[in-house]
Structure 1
């Protein structure tokens, strides 16, 4: 899938629940709202979601498939992975 034509605002809206989860985790972990860390987490989340969408073959998707719904589902799984990586020390918190 060519992700260059995606509306960045639509993409961010699709990832909103995942971002809420990452922010909640960050606040509960640090007991602060560190905007630099939140921004870094958002950037990492966005990069990974875009990579997954890039690897998606639209022609192989079922009828009714939506990149927005896919981005939403992917972002939730990526957010969970980011938190697990932080816990394991694989990603800077």
Structure 2
């Protein structure tokens, strides 16, 4: 999930959005929460051979990161220097 957080934070930096500690913690928590919810809904018995929850978590976290980036596009830039 680190890569997903890096994607979201890189977008925040590029757009001049707030990077305060609370915001970063909230984004990390949101990614983790959404990944856990998605994995809880997954029936491992129906997955193909070679499927792993780690691989699924990585794929899901990237999809979530891209969704968060889309959400951030409407966020106004930070007033901080």
Aligned Cα root-mean-square deviation (Å): 1.9
Question: 1:20 aligned to 2:10?
Answer: no
Separation (CA, whole Å) in 2 of partners of 1:61 and 1:31: 39
The structure showing larger relative contact order (alpha-carbon pairs under 8 Å, at least 6 residues apart) is 2
More helix by share: 1
* Number of aligned residues: 76
* Runs of 4+ with deviation above 4 angstroms: none
Residue of structure 2 aligned with 1:64, choices 41, 50, 59: 50
Separation (CA, whole Å) in 1 of partners of 2:20 and 2:63: 23
Please report how far the alpha carbon of residue 32 of structure 1 lies from its aligned counterpart in structure 2 after TM superposition.
5.7
Unmatched 5+ stretches in structure 2: 76-81
Q: TM-score, normalised by structure 1?
A: 0.73
Q: TM-score, normalised by structure 2?
A: 0.82
Question: 1:75 aligned to 2:55?
Answer: no
Asked if 2 retains the 8 angstrom alpha-carbon contact of 1:45 and 1:79, the reply is yes
Rg larger in structure? 2
* Alignment correspondent of 1:84: 70
